[in-house]
Structure 1
Amino acid sequence: MRMLAWLASLICGLNQFIGKVFSWLALGIVLVCFAVVVLRYVFATSFVWMQDLYIWMNGAMFTAVAGFALLRDDHVRVDIFYRPAKVRTRALADLIGIIVFLMPFCWVVYTYSMPFVIRAWGYHEASANVGGMPGLYILKSFIIAFTAVLALQGIALLIRSILVLAGRPELVPPAIQYSADQKAVGTHEEAV
């Protein structure tokens, strides 16, 4: 069980690192988009590669931080029943959801996008726009990265569910504890 907790902690650390690094692309997107607007409307000029750049940065950011969003529980969920449920009930719902929905979704996206990415790498695909950026094949590779970080975080959440259902919630890494667990940990730390 401790090995599983260590693995979950490692995955969470990886996704936190990736999320924090790639979230800085948001600033780059704003700056490049601002530059495009200023160039177009103030100086009456534009560069196609700059327009490609902020769109590609947006795509790279949102695919790379998918695991980080899942780690932080930032995805959309109908929590009429989930939030007020007991921790074990939430763990069971997560276990079923990850096995039945998340992992098959990641597999389907990976399976169908891999030939698409391989083909793009095969001829070093670039922007379809004249004067656009080279290296579209690199951006398309982020689809594979998306499935990898999402599936890895799914494994970490699966481990969390297993630990909770096995009666070992104290082994759950702090980054993925259920909110009720975090309140309990905070109370315990205050008591110590």
Structure 2
Amino acid sequence: MQALLALSRAIDRLNTFVGKYSIWLIFAATFISAANAVVRKVFDTSSNGFLEVQWYLFAWSFLIAAGYTLLNREHVRIDVLNSHLPKKVQIWIEILGVILFLTPVCVLIIWLCIPIVAERYATGEMSPNPGGLIRWPVWVALPAGFALLLLQGWSELIKCVAFLKGLGPDPTVKADAKSAEEELVEALRQHQAAAGKAP
């Protein structure tokens, strides 16, 4: 189990690194968008390449950060029923979700994408738009993103099993989540600070 937990920590570090640095792809897309707007207004010219590289960067940032989002439990969850169940039942729901849903979907998408990416690379497919870009770099984002999501799902699975065996913390609680007591103390401090500033 210790080897699996070490693997889980390595996957967490990988997705943390990718997630934290994927923000630069958003920054680059925003910068290119602004530069394109300025060039279009000032010089009355533009290129579809500028638009497509923005789409590429957004696709990459969205897809490769999926594992980081799962790590931080920021995916959309509907816990109306789940949150009222005993903790062990919640953990088993997580385990079954990873095994029966997340893993098969990720494996299927990766399996289906790899031949498409290989074909796009081999043919050097270009965008049909005038001044458009080569297509395979954006296609690579699909298997890369789902591979990172799959790895993170397995990391969460390891953490769930470790929790059930009493070898790790509760993986369903966000790492930076405050307890009810900590939230109360923070609220009291803010109230006192506001009262102290009042005339």
Query: TM over 0.5, yes or no?
Result: yes
Alpha-carbon contact 1:63-1:146 (below 8 Å) kept: yes
SS in 1 for 2:130: coil
Aligned to 2:46: 46
SS in 1 for 2:70: helix
* Aligned CA distance change for structure 1 residues 85 and 41 (closer, same or farther; 3 Å): farther
Shift of 1:168: 1.9
Alpha-carbon contact 1:87-1:180 (below 8 Å) kept: no
Matched, 1:148 2:133: no
Q: Percent identity?
A: 29
Shift of 1:156: 0.2
TM-score (norm 1): 0.84
Aligned to 1:101: 101
Q: Give, in whole Å, the separation in 2 of the partners of 1:71 and 1:166.
A: 21
**Greater RCO structure (CA 8 Å; 6+ sep):** 1
Q: How many positions carry a matched residue from both structures? A: 181
Offset from partner CA, 1:10-35 (integer Å, 9 cap, x none): 00000001111212111111111112
Tell me which structure has the larger Cα radius of gyration: 2
TM-score (norm 2): 0.81
Q: Give, in whole Å, the separation in 2 of the partners of 1:80 and 1:22.
A: 32
Alpha-carbon contact 2:39-2:46 (below 8 Å) kept: yes
Q: Give, in whole Å, the separation in 1 of the partners of 2:58 and 2:175.
A: 34
Aligned to 2:15: 15
Give 5+ residue unaligned stretches, structure 1.
188-192
Q: Give, in whole Å, the separation in 2 of the partners of 1:145 and 1:65.
A: 10
Shift of 1:55: 0.9
Give 5+ residue unaligned stretches, structure 2.
183-199
Alpha-carbon contact 2:91-2:172 (below 8 Å) kept: no
Aligned to 2:160: 161
Matched, 1:125 2:135: no
SS in 2 for 1:160: helix
Aligned to 1:178: 173
Q: Give, in whole Å, the separation in 1 of the partners of 2:56 and 2:92.
A: 38
